[in-house]
Amino acid sequence: MSDLLNLFADALPVMLRATGQTLLFALMAMLGGLLIAALVAVLRLLGPAWLGRLLGLYVSAFRGTPLLVQVFVVYYGLPSVGIQFEPLTAGALALSLNAGAFLAESLRGAVTGVPAGQWLAAASLGMTRIQTLRHIIAPQALRLAVPSLSNTLISLIKDTSLVSVIAVTELMLATKELISTTFRPLPLYLAAAAIYWLLSVLLEAGQKRLERKLALPH
């Protein structure tokens, strides 16, 4: 027991620093994913049909293939055609594109969940479709999309562990490096799992609080 406590005492500061990097990385990917998703969702709703089909292909491809494969394509595959990224940039790009595909469908579903009559009411007031989307539909859609957005962020935090394969510094890579020097895989992997779990629990609690705050009065 004393040996185990000493192990955690030495490893915990390293793992906590890596946890901060994991959170930062996940937030970067979430922001990138949201920007992509908002653009894709708006263009699929209001753009020409051919563009909607093209963006639908992007959504289908990134939702239908493993994230790890996408990371490999961006980091190892693109250099073969002259496009090369640093590990951090490649990981953030792959995660953002992946999150963007899922978030685009969440946002599109939230927009279509707003009663269609509100589009007609806005049009009768002389508002354009862009004005209607910005001032009337989007605020309501964002309220509906909160659970999906929160779930995506939770998934992103866990998915950051995959970018350890391209040497991006985050919790899983830090854990592997600690194991390579201590040769104690079980307690360290369990500690990493506990940190991921705690982050998920905290985010879920924040999600429920935000949902209560945004809930419409009965």
Instruction: Check: CB of residue 191 under 8 Å from CB of residue 8.
Output: yes
**Which contiguous run of DSSP H or E holds residue 97?**
helix 87-113
Sorting pLDDT into bands at 50, 70 and 90, what band is 177? very high
- Return all residues near 154 (Cβ < 8 A) that are at least 6 apart: 199, 200, 203, 204
Distance CA 138, CA 122 (A): 13
3-state DSSP helix/strand/coil % of the chain, to nearest 5? 90, 0, 10
What is the arithmetic mean of pLDDT over 10-17?
95
Mean pLDDT computed over every residue of the chain? 91
What confidence score (pLDDT) does residue 216 get?
52
What confidence score (pLDDT) does residue 218 get?
42
Token pair of 188, please?
């360290």
The domain spanning residue 124 has which CATH number? 1.10.3720.10
Span 54-103, pLDDT tens digits: 999 999 999 999 999 999 999 999 999 999 999 999 999 999 999 999 99
Span 89-143, pLDDT tens digits: 999 999 999 999 999 999 988 888 888 888 888 888 888 888 888 888 888 888 8
Write out the residue range of the structural domain in which residue 131 sits: 2-214
Q: How many domains does one find in the chain? A: 1
pTM beyond 0.85, yes or no: yes
Q: In sequence order, what DSSP letters do the residues of 12-73 get, joined into one string?
A: HHHHHHHHHHHHHHHHHHHHHHHHHHHHHHHHHHHS-HHHHHHHHHHHHHHHHS-HHHHHHI
Would the pLDDT of 217 be above 80?
Answer: no
Q: Which of 94, 108, 92 is nearest to 37 (CA)?
A: 108
